[in-house]
Amino acid sequence: MAVLRRKPRRAPGADDPLDAAQERRVRAVLALGGVPQADLPDGVQQVRLRLLERAAKGDEAPRDVSAWAAVVASNLAMDWHRAKRRQERIGERLASLRQMEQSSDEESSVLALAVAQGLDELPDAQRQVVVLRFYADLPVRGIADELGIPEGTVKSRLHTAVRALRARLHEDEVV
């Protein structure tokens, strides 16, 4: 018969970069920042992860871990709000697209089809920035960061792609 053995207990906080007081402070900052209760444990874990990543890179620990963790928590709360707003905008756009589809407005259907065909004809790099900018509603800086390219390159690709789409729509006499 196999005997189940418990792992020996370590001292509280031996592997945890945050002590109980720091964790409470992080939770409070997240909660006051508007992060829902259900997401607080994930936020605390993110702070822990960032502290552990910092140590893994060989960076020295912050002088005041509690203050550093509070700043990280505050930044996480702002990121949460930005993501929430972005999701709301995407939801609104999808809802408006659904309304356009349901209205069976022939003109908008022709335009949507022409734009989709025009997007298919764009080079991959141009199509990618157009979709990220106009469909995912990312700012130019956000696109540049996500793709790892300069902002000027994003702007150039957007300009060229929009010009090509516009020419295509005029050529097809859609607009």
pLDDT given for residue 17 in this prediction: 81
Spatial neighbors of 44 by CB under 8 A, at least 6 apart, are 18, 23, 26, 27, 30
pLDDT given for residue 172 in this prediction: 67
* Contact present, 140 and 155 (Cβ < 8 Å): yes
pLDDT given for residue 101 in this prediction: 59
pLDDT given for residue 37 in this prediction: 92
C-alpha 173 chain-centroid distance: 37
pLDDT given for residue 4 in this prediction: 46
pLDDT digits (tens, 9 = 90+) for 63-101: 888 888 889 899 898 888 888 888 888 878 777 766 665
Report which of 136, 99, 134 is spatially closest to residue 115, judged by C-alpha positions. Answer: 134
pLDDT given for residue 1 in this prediction: 46
Taking CA atoms, 19 is separated from 14, 44, 48, 53, 75, in Å, by 9, 12, 10, 17, 20
String of DSSP letters for 4-34? P-PPPPPPTTSS-SS-HHHHHHHHHHHHHTT
Cα–Cα distance measured from residue 108 to residue 95, given in angstroms and rounded to the nearest whole number: 15
pLDDT given for residue 89 in this prediction: 81
Report which of 88, 90, 82, 69 is spatially closest to residue 34, judged by C-alpha positions. Answer: 82
Q: What is the mean pLDDT of the chain?
A: 81
Report residues of the chain scoring pLDDT below 70: 1-14, 97-109, 172, 174-175
